[in-house]
Chain A
């Protein structure tokens, strides 16, 4: 909570005003039963009807004050709660946006999303409600007890005696139910998983006629979940009848004890009547205060999750150091790296590529192809070894400048719900003609035309496009800003050979000055590259041109032959 305080601080003044108004309103509300007692005990015996009207009017005034005060304060509370949440959300979102890749890996994307959505929402609710009942509850509770103490200390003690019982009851129910809730959440997760699996695997399940089996599997979790819900519910169900009972017993005791005190002439009927009314107010306040505790603990869990992200240290900062002249454009110098810092994902890789050249990277799944891209763009820092661009160690290049050099399509890159134009532009300042040019080069112009132009809206993740169309848009995005280095990480896997070949032709002719890094599984996509890096288990297994590798690298030859048929190029390459 401490980290969250700094968001509340700017609103201190505003909140103080809110709380003051709330205080006045609560006091006005608190006065009403006392006034009732006053009318019955002091005004009525005088027998003057006018006195009744005057004090009745005062009561009405209190009621109006309470109404206005509460409405104004509630609105102010909502406003400041909204404002605080807006700031927290802003900071949290921008923090997440700027997190390094390994940090985001650590939090995981779903968790980051739920911190931004569910947790900030919880805080919002907490801030608003705390101001609404957080003041009113305690004031009514303390004020109610104070007023009753003045009226009749003896009876008040009877009443106060029941309060700890209620607190105890709520405490035990909470202690018992919280771990049960956690467990219930876990079972719910399993149920959701079964449903998810059944949706994504609909074809396989139907093909294997496993529908009945899946129904049984689902029925098990459904039953488990329903059982758990019932158990949690049964525990929680004690709270309401339990606390109402305790309260009502207290009320009964007040009447009984009141009888003795009346008999001794220590109290009056009006007091007992007012007392019974206060009792209800105090009870409700008590229940409200316990609810605040529950809300507070829930809010605290959320605040902690948010603070974790906000407090993440800044990684991958820029280091001082100049550059040396270097004829190569990209150079890896004995680079090793491991994501989990156990078992290298890339070990001792060195290579260099000249400006305007094309580098092809090929290798089996998990051989480290994408890792090279991640390191080159400095999503992660190499554990050992150095990486240079234009002779400068990339750690000395400011992030903005470094990333500005690239146009990239990642494996599983993403499109979002917006127009095609915005998806290609990606929030950059790029002219319409450059966008169109990029779309043409990427071979996307034709289908963009057919769906209705650049203003066509994509659905979430671009689901209204085919796999090949998506990849072409992504390539257009990478090309749009005329990058110094173009990286395509398995970016043409959904394209058929013909489209892929067209694309390669376009890239070669239109982007002569751009250094291209192409990661692919197909030899045909890389054949024309100036240099090809063959990776195997994170190590360099081959380095050279296609024809050199066909001679020198058995792994490469094996890949090439399996893809192009044993007859291979001799027969068809003309």
Chain B
């Protein structure tokens, strides 16, 4: 999809969008039918009113009432029928767009759910959400409205032209002037306006970004008394946004008046030539009336298409973003030969594992370790040394570039992902809770969990007392702005969640970093219970947590610098002992 071949890209997008529509062939056919018949009925109106006027003669008692009423009756019938048809058409289109938008949102979400976690590390949540809400909406709006409009315009133009030709072929020559005029104008305006509108959106986006950042950091600004400076920064962005707006509007506002102008000019020409033709006896007054009405209808859509082209442009851009997301590569599917990992014993072993998030920047190099069943492995090291990466590899959130990892002697690349991940329970530093009751949040990992089980887990995590102190107890709904729940309490809930699971292996990634030390001490018993008989991987800043480990891996710059028991490492006087003593330093 390179820039040089925009037409190829557009074709490709239309093809993919068509796939969403073509599933509903019946709906589309019905809509087409309604659209055609509704429009043609409505378009018959001017012709009929013209005939009615002709039937009135020159007035003053010469009116042929039966004929007039015949035409008036037909007009009313045609208009009512066309009104009903166009309402049905709207309903059909709404139904169609409901199906398409549902499908598209589903496709995006389904893809999101199989994407590797690395994707979410790379992209901002706001970006992804704007695809699923705003972009899909834009595409849908455009394709249900604009597409219809284009087709409708085509019908109107063709029909009006035919009618005008039957009424007065000579007068049609007028459009030999106005049509080229509108085409030239349309080309001119779209070419000018498109980059200007793009810039306008960009500048507005920048302004909004700045606002979001600076209001979020308002306290910091106040702390340094920099309100005035920040406001003057804002003014610059504000100015730019307004300038871009004005520039875009400068050309953008040409469209409306110009459309009207071209309409008016057609009318002038039709009047003049119509009158001249009438003088020569070539045409009736009713004909002029119908002709003028058709000419208005005829020139309207041609200019409208110019507007629609602009809208389609933004719809294409949105569709591109939607499809780019749908096309993201999912996690590699499980190997054909992958088996389900069951009857787990809990022996984990890594050999010569190397890995980098990007090929040019390896994070883990030649990493080996062996964790026996029920042992406690601690992973320590400075920030950014690769501790969390090891967890990512163990649980196959990422696949290693080389080397092998085995659970109970089975290569983890040869078992199903879900069974591998199911073998671990996990408590992470960032406390993830969802909008739902406390009960649901704790029971999340275990299907059909009973209240007793949940309460037992909550008690063990020392969060039960807090929960029952809430008016709704376990049925309290956790929401962003509802209950005031602290970070530490959130963490205890995630610990309770992990306690619900019965796994042979456990990963604690800074699991108690948000819990203050006193509470941590209180839940130590529970943590010990949680860790009992399990092979545990513990990442921690606080060295007190890791002192009892069977094996401490000291990671530095992606390699294991040292490994061994606490006492051995202290005695060795290496990097670990330096880290350890640093905490007792008084300045």
Contact = CB atoms under 8 A, between A and B. Distances in A.
**Does more than half of chain A's interface fall in helix, strand or loop, or is it mixed?**
helix
Nearest to B278: A44
A426 B105 CA distance: 41
Q: SS class of chain B's interface: helix, strand, loop or mixed?
A: helix
Interface size class of A (residues with CB under 8 A): 35 or more
Given A75-B253, A252-B75, A195 B132 contact: yes
Interface in A60-100: 60, 62-64, 66-67, 70-71, 74-75, 77-79, 82-83, 85-86, 89-90, 93-94, 96-99
B258 A410 contact: no
A279 to B, nearest CB: 10
B230 A97 contact: yes
Contact of A466 (B75, B231, B279, B383): B383
B213 A363 contact: no
A77 to B, nearest CB: 8
Interface in B413-472: 417-418, 421-422, 424-426, 428, 430, 432, 434-435, 444-445
Contacts of A218: 106, 109
B292 A277 contact: yes
Contacts of A396: none
A498 interface: yes
Given A62-B264, A124-B245, A255 B513 contact: no
Nearest to A136: B256
A32 B264 contact: yes
B371 interface: no
B384 A97 contact: no
Contact of A75 (B75, B99, B250): B250
B59 interface: yes
Contacts of A245: 79-80, 82-83
A109 B216 contact: yes
A63 B49 CA distance: 26
A524 B104 CA distance: 54
B357 interface: no
A403 B224 contact: yes
Contacts of B337: none
Interface stretch (B6-14, B190-198, B203-211, B307-315): B203-211
A542 B29 CA distance: 80
B138 to A, nearest CB: 14
Contact of B214 (A207, A222, A258, A416): A416
A117 B234 CA distance: 13
A484 interface: no
B94 to A, nearest CB: 4
Size category of the B interface is: 35 or more
A291 interface: no
Contact of A211 (B113, B268, B580): B113
A32 B213 CA distance: 54
Contacts of B52: 255, 259
A311 interface: no
A214 interface: yes
A499 B117 CA distance: 30
B301 interface: no
B211 A468 contact: no
Given A117-B208, A198-B113, A269 B587 contact: no
A32 B267 contact: yes
A93 B94 CA distance: 40
Contact of B114 (A211, A410, A527): A211
A488 interface: no
A146 interface: no
B393 to A, nearest CB: 13
A404 B544 contact: no
Nearest to A239: B90
B154 to A, nearest CB: 19
B35 to A, nearest CB: 12
Contact of B583 (A116, A194, A501): A501
B26 interface: no
A234 B88 CA distance: 10
A270 B285 contact: yes
Contact of B223 (A63, A77, A403): A403
B220 A414 contact: yes
Contacts of B434: 197, 201
A259 B58 CA distance: 11
A381 interface: no
A153 B245 CA distance: 45
Contacts of A174: none
Contacts of B275: 39-40, 43-44, 52, 56
A97 B225 CA distance: 10
B63 to A, nearest CB: 4
A496 interface: yes
A259 B71 CA distance: 11
Interface in B57-107: 57-63, 65, 68-69, 71-72, 75-76, 79-80, 82-84, 86-87, 90-91, 94-95, 97-99, 101-102, 105-106
A52 to B, nearest CB: 5
A82 B268 CA distance: 36
Contacts of B265: 60, 63
Contact of B133 (A188, A207, A573): A188
A229 B86 contact: no
Nearest to B123: A199
A365 B272 contact: no
A573 B384 contact: no
Contact of A113 (B211, B276, B516): B211
Interface string B390-403: 00000101000000
A94 B218 CA distance: 11
Contacts of B68: 255-256, 259
A499 to B, nearest CB: 7
B227 interface: yes
Interface stretch (B346-354, B404-412, B517-525, B557-565): B517-525
Given A78-B253, A365-B488, A269 B79 contact: no
Interface in B519-570: 519-521, 524, 541-544, 547
Contacts of B279: 44, 47, 49, 52
A237 interface: yes
A315 B310 CA distance: 48
A497 B582 contact: yes
Contact of B234 (A93, A364, A410, A497): A93
B422 A209 contact: yes
B1 to A, nearest CB: 25
A325 interface: no
Interface stretch (B17-25, B160-168, B235-243): B235-243
A194 B435 CA distance: 8
Contacts of A238: 87
Contacts of A10: none
Contact of A377 (B223, B246, B381): B223
A195 B109 contact: yes
A528 B128 contact: no
Contacts of A562: 517-518, 520-521, 524, 544
B215 interface: yes
B23 to A, nearest CB: 15
Contacts of B62: 263
A244 B222 contact: no
A215 interface: yes
A452 interface: no
B584 interface: yes
A113 B129 contact: no
B94 A237 contact: yes
A132 interface: yes
Interface in A181-203: 188, 190-203
Contacts of A496: 381-383, 541, 579, 582
> Which 6 residue pairs of A and B lie closest in terms of their CB atoms, listed nearest first?
A245-B83, A70-B257, A78-B249, A427-B229, A74-B253, A237-B90
Given A248-B42, A255-B49, A256-B68, 4 more contacts: A97-B218, A97-B231, A101-B218, A207-B424
14 contacts: A32-B267, A70-B257, A96-B218, A104-B215, A195-B128, A209-B421, A240-B90, A272-B56, A277-B296, A377-B223, A413-B217, A527-B584, A555-B518, A565-B543
